Amino acid sequence: MSEFHDPSNVVNPEHADHHIISPVTYGIVFLTLLVFTGVTVGAAYVDLGILNPVVALAIASFKAVVVILFFMHVKYQSKLIKLTVAAGFFTFLVLITMTLSDYISRAWGLW
């Protein structure tokens, strides 16, 4: 592809405005992950009752978002890339919601 003349950059538009992320950002991502790992461990020692798994999952989700947006550059990408990532989350949401439709209502009418 390299010898192909492509002045309007049709073939590889992602490279047109390729965002360079500074090592500082990666450092901040790394530190954030470390800190929140500590928070996860700490939260496990506090008895919040039913809220314990909720807190743990919330922290994990936050860490995942930080990784996806900054470490994986999704924040600086085209709408198509963002849509692709969103498709994965949408599918995951379908999996969880539709499965829960079974678990929530399985005991209805049986008590």
Partner 1 sequence: MSTTSTTIVNLPDQRTARIPKRNYLNNEDGLLSWLFTGDHKRIAILYLISITFFFFIGGAFAGLIRLELLTPQADLVASDTYNKFFSMHGIIMIFLFLVPSVPATLGNFLIPIMIGAKDLAFPKVNLLSWYLYWIGGLFTLAALVLGGVDTGWTFTTPLSTHYLNTHVVTAATGVFIIGFSSIFTGLNFIVTLHRMRAPGMTWFRLPLFCWSNYAASILMVLGTPVLAITLVLVALERLVGIGVFDPTKGGDPLLFQHLFWFYSHPAVYIMILPGMGVISEVISTFSRKRVFGYTAVAFSSVAIALFGFFVWAHHMFIMGVSNYSALVFSLLTMLVAVPSAIKIFNWAFTLQKGSITFETPMLYAFGFLGLFTIGGMTGVFLGALGMDIHLTETYFIVAHFHFVMVGGMLMAFLAGIHFWWPKMTGRMYPESLSKLAAVTTFIGFNLTFLPQFILGYLGMPRRYHAYPPEFQVLNVLSTAGATVLGIGYMLPLLYLGWSLKYGAIAGNNPWQATGLEWQIQSPPLTENFIETPIMDHEAYDYEWLAHKTAQEVTTVG
Spatial CA neighbour of 84 closest among 14, 15, 17: 14
Closest to partner 1 by CB, 42 vs 109, is 109
Closest to partner 1 by CB, 4 vs 45, is 4
The reply on whether position 80 binds partner 1 by CB under 8 A is: yes
Closest to partner 1 by CB, 9 vs 37, is 9
DSSP assignment letter at 19: P
Do you know the residue count of the chain? Answer: 111
User: Looking at 7-15, 24-32, 33-41, 44-52, which segment touches partner 1 (CB under 8 A)?
Assistant: 7-15
* Sequence-ordered alpha helix ranges (H) in the chain: 23-45, 51-66, 79-105
The 3-state DSSP class for residue 38 equals helix
The reply on whether position 94 binds partner 1 by CB under 8 A is: yes
Residue that has been written with the tokens 């994986």 in this structure: 72
Residues in contact with partner 1 by the rule CB under 8 A: 4, 10-12, 80, 87-88, 91, 94-95, 98-99, 101-109
